[in-house]
A and B are shown apart, each in its own frame.
Chain A
Amino acid sequence: MSHHIVEVKDLRHAYPDGTEALRGVSFRITHGESVAIIGANGAGKSTLLLHLNGYLATSQGSIRIGDFPLNKATLPEIRRTVGMVFQDPDDQLFMPTVFDDVAFGPLNLGLAGDEVEARVREALARVGAEHLCDKPPYRLSGGEKKRVAIATVLAMAPDILVMDEPTSGLDPFARRQLMALLRDFHHTKIFTSHDLDMVLELCERTIVLHEGEVRADGPTLEIFRDAALLAACRLEKPFAMQGCPVCNGKPLSPIPEGG
């Protein structure tokens, strides 16, 4: 199914104040892949994500989602195809109740009546949040908000799931729950995150952004083994790959200077 493909070619973006956030980014993500986009603060991750569903217009370069190039005419179709979950679920849940919120997307797609109801129930069931249906968003816990935010996107039946920092702000249990949930999705998945352990577990491929450029693109394990690359991009190995200093009796590593 070619419509699950994301292809970015020589993407450049400069903000109005002249800051060049992206400087010729290219990659191709194929159907069913689970890809992490990592990088230091300010490396261009968020800017890149905002391009993927057409919120920011490209200064130069092109993006293809599935069979369509991204442009004004294909925007509605692309926004349906690319489900985007934002970092702060409070931004995503704006309707009076969870049900209304999940129904917002399907209603905009022109669905009505029972079909909307079925979509909402199904999406909430997928994330294990049926019981929250009639609650107002401000009565949900952080983990619940995150899952409902994912349901709001799932209700639109996207082919590609894009998530900004999916595990930020969650307690360890909620984080595990969410990761288990994400692993079960068969969409093409694109995550940005600083939670490198999550990346290690969920993504077989990793793209490293550094100062608006793709510094590395390859199998996650390979990238995390390259200490020089990680250091150059202000990153470090996931904790799972660092060995446990407490158990090994080794001293905790000092914080590098100039970091």
Chain B
Amino acid sequence: MASIAGTVKDFRQLDLLAAGDTGIHRLDARAKVLVTLAFILAVVSLDKYELAALFPFFLYPAVLMALADLPVFYIGRKILVVLPFALMVGIFNPLFDQTVLVSLGPLGISGGWLSCASILVRSALTVGAALILVGITGFPAICQALDQLGLPRIFTVQLLFLYRYLFVLTEEGSRTARARELRAFGKKGLGLRSYGSLLSHLLLRTWLRAERIHLAMLARGFTGEFHSRRTTRFGGRDFIYLAGWSGVFLFFRLVNVSQLLGAIVTGVLG
């Protein structure tokens, strides 16, 4: 539970980054959300054995982290946390898919290894892009952008509440867990059973809190409709940002830049 609290604290730090004031931060959230979507689409739509063509896509996170002043190591660490899960997805590919696709001299590399590596690189790219999006936009602004882009309001409001009470809930959860630990005297306590009742208590408390929140909303004239205050403008700069990156991604997607570069270099050398 302590590690969950730590993760949430880390997440808050990511959210703090969104308070930055660079050119990237000032862009309209919609542009940033759409660019991230385009990026993810371009990356995941490549062929499953594709590895070389993925590398040019690292340009996007690199440029954004530089322009928005994001700490590279921090983002890198966050990505590393996710990679084991991606590895789980791809780990059996080398066993099932043993056809040799690439030969490096005497060493033959099977399709399985290629696709496994491809999965890892893809996850690093997409997770990185999502983290960067939060870091340059902030969660509430992303929700608002999704709302403006036409996602049903019930989902965006749900996301906002999740985000707001995530911190309250983890705090409650870690307090309860601490109370259990302090009375377990280093042993396992009652084992799984005590966790069961701990979780059910947490659920009930969450339920009661939800009721109190609803009450507070009603007391302030809530009638089921969420009103949005901000009127954002999708300006020329936002359009250029969106069109520019989409163009780059389309180019990377259609042309294998790595191969092209290789061909040029070998051509020059030859």
Q: Count contacts on A: residues with CB < 8 A to the other chain.
A: 33
Cβ of B160 < 8 Å from any Cβ of A? yes
Q: From DSSP, what is the main secondary structure of chain A's interface residues?
A: helix
Determine whether A184 belongs to the interface, using a CB cutoff of 8 Å to chain B.
no
List A contacts of B223 (CB < 8 A): 76, 108
B167 at the interface (CB under 8 A from A): yes
Give A99 to B230 CA distance when docked, in angstroms. 11
B contact residues, range? 20 to 34
| In contact, A138 and B168 (Cβ under 8 angstroms) | yes
Assembly CA distance A90 to B223 (angstroms):
21
Task: Known A96-B160, A116-B229, A138-B168; judge A91-B221 contact (CB<8 A).
Answer: no
Asked whether A96 lies within 8 Å of B221 as measured between CB atoms, the reply is no
B140 at the A/B interface (Cβ < 8 Å)? yes
- For A116, the chain B residues whose CB sits under 8 A away are 229
Chain B, 158-169, contact with A by CB distance < 8 Å: what is the 0/1 string?
A: 001101110110
Contact A137 B219 (CB under 8 A): no
Query: Which of A50, A55, A108, A136 is in CB contact (< 8 Å) with B220?
Result: A108
Asked if B220 and A96 sit within 8 Å, CB to CB, the answer is no
Contact A105 to B221, CB < 8 A, known contacts A55-B215, A86-B215, A100-B229: yes
Would you list which residues of chain B between 160 and 185 have a CB under 8 Å from chain A?
160-161, 163-165, 167-168
> A156 is contacted by which of B12, B160, B213, B221 (Cβ under 8 Å)?
B221
Cβ of A95 under 8 Å from chain B: yes
B140 cross-chain contacts in A, Cβ below 8 A: 96-97, 100
B-side contacts of A153, CB under 8 Å: 219-220
A237 interface contact, C-beta 8 A: no
- A138 & B167 in contact (Cβ 8 Å cutoff): yes
- Decide: A55 and B218 in contact? CB cutoff 8 A: yes
Contact check, B229 vs A107: say whether CB atoms are below 8 A apart: yes
B187 within 8 Å of A (CB atoms): no
A residues in contact with B165, CB < 8 Å? 94
Tell whether, in the assembled complex, residue B213 and residue A94 are in contact, meaning their CB atoms are under 8 Å apart.
yes
- Per-residue interface assignment for chain A, residues 74 to 104, with 1 indicating a CB less than 8 Å from any chain B CB and 0 otherwise: 0010011011101010111011110110011
Q: Which 4 A-B pairs have the closest CB atoms?
A: A96-B140, A108-B221, A107-B227, A105-B220
Known interface pairs A88-B212, A90-B168, A107-B229; 5 further A-B residue pairs with C-beta atoms within 8 A, sorted by A's residue number: A79-B221, A95-B164, A96-B139, A104-B220, A104-B222
